[in-house]
């Protein structure tokens, strides 16, 4: 849920949203309500910091090693 509210310390409107139960604010950098609503319409919150995906490590294998393992596997399955 996103809300637009004026900031008590600054003349700009703020977008208020929640991340993991914690209230987070981001400035719209405008004092005009209509411009702030345009900002809200195009606003996409950044992803949470703790949910970074780890890169998948690619394992390379030589064709000759694969071929020998495959021959062993086929020999026992026939």
pLDDT value for 52: 62
What does pTM read for this prediction? 0.54
pLDDT value for 70: 92
Type and span of the H or E element at 22: strand 22-27
pLDDT value for 50: 67
pLDDT value for 51: 57
pLDDT value for 13: 92
* 18-74 pLDDT per residue, tens: 888 888 888 898 898 999 889 888 888 877 676 566 777 888 889 999 999 999 999
Task: Kindly report the number of other CB atoms within 10 A of residue 28's CB atom.
Answer: 20
Residue 58 token pair: 């690619």
Type and span of the H or E element at 74: helix 63-77
């Amino acid at each position: 849920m996103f809300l637009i509210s004026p900031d008590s310390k600054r003349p700009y409107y703020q977008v208020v949203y929640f991340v993991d139960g914690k209230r987070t604010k981001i400035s719209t950098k405008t004092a005009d309500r209509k411009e702030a609503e345009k900002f809200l319409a195009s606003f996409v919150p950044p992803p949470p910091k703790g949910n970074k995906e780890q890169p998948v490590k690619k394992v390379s294998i030589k064709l000759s090693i694969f071929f020998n393992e495959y021959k062993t596997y086929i020999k026992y399955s026939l």
